[in-house]
Structure 1
């Protein structure tokens, strides 16, 4: 794997991902909506486009071996998170490309909290698109950014956990370690076809990502395109009709 695309590159996680990818020797293409925010190393290829406007994304996947999605927009998650990922997957036209999606620990909850519900519903739908694509993938659901204490740097994984308080008390992980995990997931075999929740606990800084991902179980194909231990809190049959159709089309055409 030589060249990767970072979606959401100017965000608080995306910037760390770009830096980590360069550190690991990747050629990096960064999707940027506002070029004035693109303050990257000169080695980074800037691609100006808008996830809500499919016509601006033509050519964005040309020549890339992997894609890391870090975008998040709770004001318009349907168009930025969901439809943006759908457009990019369709542009691959079935070409084998590793997908790494940053989601949220709350995507599997059926909550009635306006702070989370709409955005988390679209994150869940976006996850299903990635699994339906039949591309190699890793889906990472991070806990609260930078809410871990200074001595909490040992990463650990859960899968399908639902006992959340919907607050920072659920645990934290640093942006830097999250970015490193996303980049490592591109090539580590133990990360393949896995959906994980990522936290940090008291302990030394994690460097063994092979061992970390090995603690997780791989997803198995499901009719609802959910992760291995996901509860059926958002039944596919209850989803918007166009979302159901998207899943069918992507699954059939890949």
Structure 2
């Protein structure tokens, strides 16, 4: 039995689908079991990584865990998994972790690094999938695109190598079901370095409408985004975007090395998610 956390999210739902297609028994941990009812999992249990009392039942009889991390969940999850006899954990982690730093200055990296430390210090076989910039990070543009042909956002020339959530899921399933990945850390990216403006143009091509990127000042963007993004995350996102301007994003072959096929392009992602942007 494989326990999948974060199964109602963009990556986890693909993990469940792929495991089911392989004939694996899957159990989904969900705060709201009704939301997970249509995923096709063998079982759905109510629970929450941030509520340790729900973990023993979720982990009973489980051999492996796909862990979509919640801040602070590492020690309790590790303790419960060891008691339950879990063999391996595959963690979707963050490529923002700097292994040269004892304490991470990036708050997103910090909570992922904390969970990585808990797993490293455990008896569990672990695999870390450190994701780079996810293609789904541009979904907040959807409301503007549905309303018109202009996206107002900062740093039009910020670069990234967006990775498709389906590629992250396929890599996770390989690590969960095939030997040889224990104690390994993998960095995963998409296949192309693209600016934010180029990503928007590819979304426009996918939905058949030319779109224009209208660059906001960082101050205007910060004021707008602070209404729905916590300050510590917003600071990290803004600093990362500013630092990437004028640089080519790192592109790695890890997806192909793990899955046996090339990583999906951002253009393919835009076509897959065109319904999220079409008016």
Larger Rg: 2
Give runs of aligned pairs for residues 3-42 of structure 1, distance below 5 A.
3-42=1-40
Deviation (angstroms), 1:194: 0.5
Whole-Å Cα distance in 1 between the matches of residues 95 and 51 of structure 2? 28
Give runs of aligned pairs for residues 35-184 of structure 1, distance below 5 A.
35-71=33-69, 80-83=70-73, 85-93=74-82, 95-108=85-98, 117-146=106-135, 169-184=159-174
What SS does the corresponding residue of 1:93 show, helix, strand or coil? helix
Runs of 4+ aligned structure 1 residues displaced above 3 Å come to none
**Between Structure 1 and Structure 2, which shows a larger proportion of helix residues?**
2
Unaligned runs of 5+ in 1: 72-79, 149-164, 213-254
The normalised TM-score by structure 1 is: 0.62
Deviation (angstroms), 1:147: 7.0
Deviation (angstroms), 1:174: 0.6
Unaligned runs of 5+ in 2: 138-154, 193-252, 262-279
Aligned CA RMSD, in angstroms, stands at 3.2
Whole-Å Cα distance in 2 between the matches of residues 130 and 38 of structure 1? 27
What SS does the corresponding residue of 2:90 show, helix, strand or coil? strand
Match status 1:194 vs 2:209 = no
Deviation (angstroms), 1:92: 2.4
Number of paired residues? Answer: 180
Deviation (angstroms), 1:208: 5.8
What SS does the corresponding residue of 1:50 show, helix, strand or coil? coil
